[in-house]
Structure 1
Amino acid sequence: MGIGEVYSEMKKEIPKDVTLVCVSKTREINEIKEAYAAGARDFGENKVQELMDKYDNVGPGVRWHFIGHLQRNKVKYLVGKVHLIHSLDSIRLLKEIEKQYAAQDEIASLLIQVNIGNEDSKTGVAVDEVNALIKACEECQYIRIKGLMATIPIGDSQHCSKYFAEMKSIFDNLKKNKYKNVSMEFLSLGMSGDFEIALAEGANMIRLGARIFGKRDYK
């Protein structure tokens, strides 16, 4: 099956209210265009320069998602170009996003990245720091928090379920509260190897790379 057919089949499999972000990092423009031709509009990149290179080359109506660790000195390049930044992971980054978006009178849509497994190898805020970050977001003018994102520790299905369920619980608890600039719309969980479990635990946004485009060739 080609990329377009795989995408179409995947769209039939997942619930209608789930946003499928096709992770297009390292992929060629022609591969991305195959998914686009089949109806894909949400694409995820984890490097700012790569996103910039692809920005104008796929087609109209593309919603670019920035899903990687965002360095503060790169924020200015994303203003007005990304639909959603999935990786807000500190108050320092928040302040830089506010500053750069204010300079161009644009609004930034963001997900708070939670380091749910407390892993040293991953970015994201610790669970007990989420509220402090939300308070800082309430003081901003050019920031809109749209939900949460996490990349969970590797493990078996039971292990995955546990972390996804914890994220859903945090999401639901935040959803009960009223905050300025903050709404819990998207729970971005699950990748090619574990998205079914993520969906079962309540995710409404999944990020699929290899499942759509096939395995990467690292040669």
Structure 2
Amino acid sequence: MDELALDAIRKNVTGILQNLPPEVMLVAAAKTRTAEEVKAAIQAGIQIVGYNYVQEAEHLRQTIDEPVKWHMIGHLQRNKVKKAVQLFDMIETIDSVRLAKEVNKQCTKLEKTMPVLIEINSGKESNKTGVLPENVMALIQQINNLSNLQILGLMTMGPRFGNPEDARPYFKTTKALFEQIKKLEIPRVEMRYLSMGMSNSYQIAIDEGANMVRIGTKLFGTRNP
């Protein structure tokens, strides 16, 4: 990749970081990106890199040794958990008891506690992963006794509409859940992070209370094939 393209990434990162509220964390969604592109983003100030696929993250981590945090932001299959818990500092997409138990099992072997977010299917879309809003409390109650998991908040994708305003109701739903759970003061459950919004909708998500946004295209440009 030529230096002009890498410089454009650095400028994009700098611009977004300068305009984000100080309490909002930026996750660089690095799906399909090259090591060069990710390194350029890190050089410009990215501190958290998010991946959708375990195999891709494993490949990139072999060539990137900068001191950043690594988040799993895609659907995690149970047969990939053993590798995932070695690679990632947070899993943002816990959406079932079976997945949570497998993460806990593999973390126990490593004597590692994994910070996790519960993924909410805020649009109740049948083709999307995530737990339905009305089932979140039951899931938390069922996995809260897993000693090597630390529930630290919620995450939602929200339907990918053309108009970012159309995602607002789904962010509102997730924020309301976040506040409801926070008020309950459940032992070992901390509502610290609300991960919502992507390149086209992150500003709406921030309006609705997100303090973690996952941005790819606006940082790196049009995704590689």
Q: TM-score, normalised by structure 1?
A: 0.96
- Could you tell me which residue of structure 1 aligns to residue 102 of structure 2? 96
* 2:215 is the alignment partner of 1:208: yes
Tell me the CA shift for residue 217 of structure 1. 3.0
* Partner secondary structure for residue 87 of structure 2: coil
1:139 maps to what in 2?
Answer: 145
Inter-partner Cα distance in structure 2 for 1:7 and 1:157: 21
Q: Is the 8 A contact 1:108 1:144 kept in 2?
A: yes
What is the letter of the counterpart of residue 214 of structure 1? G
Superposed, 1:66-85 pairs within 5 Å as: 66-85=72-91
SS of equivalent residue, structure 2 residue 111: coil
Over 3 Å counting, the alpha-carbon distance change for 1:47 and 1:3 in structure 2 is same
Partners of 1:196 and 1:122 in 2: CA distance = 22
Matches for 1:149-168 after TM superposition, within 5 Å: 149-155=155-161, 156-168=163-175
Question: Which of 163, 181, 184 lines up with 2:188 in the alignment?
Answer: 181
Deviations 1:167-187 (A, max 9, x none): 111101111112232100110
Give the CA deviation at 1:100.
0.8
1:109-160 CA distance string (max 9 Å, x none): 1000010111011000011110111112221110101100001113334421
Q: Which runs of 5+ in 2 are unaligned?
A: 1-6
TM-score (norm 2): 0.93
Write out per-residue CA displacement over residues 78-120 of structure 1, whole angstroms, 9 at most, x where no aligned residue.
2243111110010010111111111111101100001011101
Contact 2:57 2:87 in 1 (8 A): no
Secondary structure of 2:28's match?
strand
- Match for 2:169: what amino acid? K
Contact 1:146 1:183 in 2 (8 A): yes
Instruction: Give the 3 Å change call, closer, same or farther, for CA 14–47 of structure 1 in structure 2.
Output: same
**Superposition misfits of 4+ residues, deviation over 6 angstroms:** none
Q: Is residue 22 of structure 2 the alignment partner of residue 21 of structure 1?
A: no
Residue 7 in structure 1 maps to residue 13 in structure 2: yes
Asked whether 1:58 is paired with 2:64, we answer yes
Q: Distance in 1 between matches of 2:157 and 2:182?
A: 20
Task: Give the count of matched residue pairs.
Answer: 218
Q: What's the RMSD between the two structures over aligned residues?
A: 1.2
CA distance in 2, matches of 1:145, 1:56: 28
The sequence identity of aligned pairs, in percent, is 39
Q: Unpaired runs of 5+ in structure 1?
A: none
